[in-house]
Structure 1
Amino acid sequence: MATVMQKIKDIEDEMARTQKNKATAHHLGLLKAKLAKLRRELLAPTSKGGGGAGEGFDVTKSGDARVGLVASYEFTTLTCIPGVIVYRGAKIQLLDLPGIIEGAKDGKGRGRQVISTARTCSCILIVLDAIKPITHKRLIEKELEGFGIRKKDKGGINFTSTVTNTQLDLETVKAICSEYRIHNADISLRYDATADDLIDVIEGSRVYMPCIYVVNKIDQITLEELEILDNLPHYCPVSAHLEWNLDGLLEKIWEYLDLVRIYTKPKGLNPDYEDPVILSSKRRTVEDFCNRIHKDMVKQFKYALVWGSSAKHKPQRVGKEHELEDEDVVQIIKKDFCINIQDKEHFGLGISQFSSTHIVQPNPSVGSILQRT
């Protein structure tokens, strides 16, 4: 690790010595690329000791979603402290991570472990001190940028190319990005790429990590200062000491996690409203619901009965592709389990009649068994 840190320092020193102009733009670009690769190595799992846990904290993932708390307070938390909160029937794992201090991108304050663990979360809470929120916000964003997580200063699509383009132009790139709701991006082409090439890259690299700025200690500032903080995007004011607006924070976390609750209904029984199946709003088909319960349920699936806002009538018979809505009730109907036998005495069964939706051709010597499919 010391070797990688020395390489990073050497490149940073060279970039500081190099003047920025058109003649050195390409050289600086290469240096930035090398720097990004080296910093990515800092986050890569180590290969020591037969497959260790890597650079992140060794915390078993549990629950329906994972939320990480990150702050810039020095050494208030020295390791990852996990917890679980149940909200609207969902089990949400909370990870209190060590604070990101200045120099975290270079390994100080267990910065590499913090970022590695944060990447596994469904949502990040960046906790700011209400007395100096902008200072902490800039510090955290600067350190995150060192790990390749960057907030663009200006909006829009920045399109550059090192070759002559015959397939793509700026308007085509903007149109494709707009289709994916990407409005801020730096796109660089190093070969004569097609629209399909660009789409493949977007599909493979898109990662959405919702973030909430939690401004703590609002009991120590004036109402005028609090009004100024209202201009912060993705912001939630709280006072942990006085327990102010903690319910509002939970509501905002739920909103940013974008989850849906689906209730199960066994045949002949009432729906189970106590233990919903939690799905992401981006993956909420009946098939996703079945896979969440058990991977073999899709193989046994015949159709589903759905009650709720996604159903046109109560109940509606639907297939695996049907998209569910929050608080829908679902009953899964499985395929029939049946046996088709040519020689009953061979199996020692006194069964005289069988019915099935599927028939398997019997083997003349031993008969056949039709299992759930």
Structure 2
Amino acid sequence: MGVLEKISEIEKEIARTQKNKATEYHLGLLKAKLAKYRQQLLEPTGKAGAKGEGFDVMKSGDARVALIGFPSVGKSTLLNTLTSTHSESANYEFTTLTCIPGVIEYNGANIQLLDLPGIIEGAAKGKGRGRQVIAVARTADLVIMMIDATKKDVQKELLTAELESVGIRLNRNRPNIYYKPKKGGGISFNSTVPLTKTSEKMIQLILHEYKIFNAEIVFRSDCTAEEFIDVVVGSRVYMPCLYVYNKIDQISIEEVDRLARLPDSVVVSCNMKLNLDYLLETVWRCLALVRVYTKKRGEPPDFEGGLILRRGCTVEHVVSICYIPAIYILLNTRAGCTVEHVCHAIHRTLVANFNYAYVWGRSVKFCPQRVGLQHLMCHDDVIQVFKK
């Protein structure tokens, strides 16, 4: 029996097993086996087959955005509209057969936009070259899921399930679980919070399924067994996702209003070029990019060539949540853009000779303000660095 057959059998057994207190351990073991077989499917250990046309595209620009969706939802039309790159678009499915990159120039930043071929249901199992498409999506900083607004939420649910099955977690936080394998000493289990979604016995059963008999585990939040499996596997990718509903010119105003109010969602019409400016603004905020201007002594700031830096937008170790229309951005203030990052962007030897800096902008109480290396910068700040 191959890996696909084993996965199918386990999925059928999970579907027909009733969920209650008596079957929770059995379901936990089935989910652990399912995750292990799916990992084998993504990373086969046998000899590679014949090489085909790959989707590898060199990462360039300040950030990378991947377009994912079913065929004929408007991905190529969006790429042609937002960038100067031409991607063939027509009224039939699978017009795009390979990865086509484009560059969005916005707020002085170059954002790489990848038009990936349309995927179909079962892409995680290799149907329609879906595995290659999903592999490219794992390298992106942001996923734009293109959805046909006339199909409501069916495509969103199917695509989310496909990405979840290959280890891509959309708009979710990494589980706050400390896990470290050891060479001996057995399994050490502790929790700093009451556990209501799993138990120590369940954790031990999952570890035994993975042939792990010595490890240290500390639960710092009330996580589920599936989240612990993600920590054990260790290859899960947590990234932000923006759901873009296209073809809103073909549905009613009431339906457009409903879709626009959904979390992490934007409604557009690529053919009629409706709401594309708001889409670009939301993508900029999702990527958490910061533009910082530099200033030399005795000269005005250089507003022509600003530095584009990452503000530390991540779904790991969330410290605070900042609300932006249509999407919640998770910000890690400890990993924000500091003066030290600006100095590294200017020149790699500047930090060693750094004395202090003057900053103008929203990050300071008065202008100019003398700051050190750990000062957090805001968008459109001006900085002047002084060396020793």
The answer, yes or no, to whether TM exceeds 0.5 is yes
Question: Structure 1 residues 214 and 17, CA, compared in 2 at 3 Å: closer, same or farther?
Answer: closer
Q: How does 1:176-191 map to 2 (within 5 A)?
A: 189=200, 190=203
- Does the alignment pair 1:88 with 2:107? yes
Give 3-state SS (helix, strand or coil) of 2:255's partner. Answer: helix
Per the TM alignment, residue 15 of structure 1 is displaced from its structure 2 partner at its CA by 4.3
Question: Does structure 2 retain, via aligned residues, the 8 Å contact 1:45–1:55?
Answer: no
Inter-partner Cα distance in structure 1 for 2:349 and 2:282 = 35
Question: Structure 1 residues 301 and 100, CA, compared in 2 at 3 Å: closer, same or farther?
Answer: same
- Does the alignment pair 1:319 with 2:372? yes
Report how many aligned residue pairs link the two structures.
308
Question: Structure 1 residues 83 and 322, CA, compared in 2 at 3 Å: closer, same or farther?
Answer: same
Inter-partner Cα distance in structure 2 for 1:47 and 1:267 = 62
Per the TM alignment, residue 250 of structure 1 is displaced from its structure 2 partner at its CA by 0.5
Question: Does structure 2 retain, via aligned residues, the 8 Å contact 1:64–1:90?
Answer: yes
Question: Structure 1 residues 286 and 164, CA, compared in 2 at 3 Å: closer, same or farther?
Answer: closer
- Percent identity between matched residues is 54
Question: Does structure 1 retain, via aligned residues, the 8 Å contact 2:193–2:221?
Answer: no
Question: Does structure 2 retain, via aligned residues, the 8 Å contact 1:42–1:112?
Answer: no
Q: How does 1:273-284 map to 2 (within 5 A)?
A: 273-282=303-312, 283-284=336-337
Give the unaligned 5+ runs of structure 1.
175-185, 336-373
Question: Does structure 2 retain, via aligned residues, the 8 Å contact 1:46–1:55?
Answer: no
- Does the alignment pair 1:306 with 2:325? no
Give 3-state SS (helix, strand or coil) of 1:139's partner. Answer: helix
Paired letter, 2:345: R
Per the TM alignment, residue 41 of structure 1 is displaced from its structure 2 partner at its CA by 3.7
Compare relative contact order (CA 8 Å, sep 6+) and give the higher one, 1 or 2. 2
Q: How does 1:161-172 map to 2 (within 5 A)?
A: 167-170=191-194
- Does the alignment pair 1:143 with 2:162? yes
Give the unaligned 5+ runs of structure 2.
72-92, 178-186, 205-215, 313-335
- Alpha-carbon deviations, 1:224-251, whole Å to 9, x = none? 3323323422221111111111111111
- Does the alignment pair 1:269 with 2:299? yes
Question: Does structure 2 retain, via aligned residues, the 8 Å contact 1:43–1:113?
Answer: no
Q: How does 1:229-248 map to 2 (within 5 A)?
A: 229-248=259-278
Per the TM alignment, residue 116 of structure 1 is displaced from its structure 2 partner at its CA by 2.0
- Does the alignment pair 1:58 with 2:56? yes
Paired letter, 1:312: K
The correspondence for 1:119, drawn from 117, 122, 138, is 138
Question: Does structure 2 retain, via aligned residues, the 8 Å contact 1:72–1:139?
Answer: no
Question: Structure 1 residues 7 and 208, CA, compared in 2 at 3 Å: closer, same or farther?
Answer: closer
Paired letter, 1:35: L
- Does the alignment pair 1:77 with 2:76? no
Question: Does structure 1 retain, via aligned residues, the 8 Å contact 2:192–2:220?
Answer: no
Inter-partner Cα distance in structure 1 for 2:53 and 2:20 = 38
Inter-partner Cα distance in structure 2 for 1:85 and 1:248 = 14
Give 3-state SS (helix, strand or coil) of 1:120's partner. Answer: coil
What TM-score, normalized by structure 1, do the two folds share? 0.70
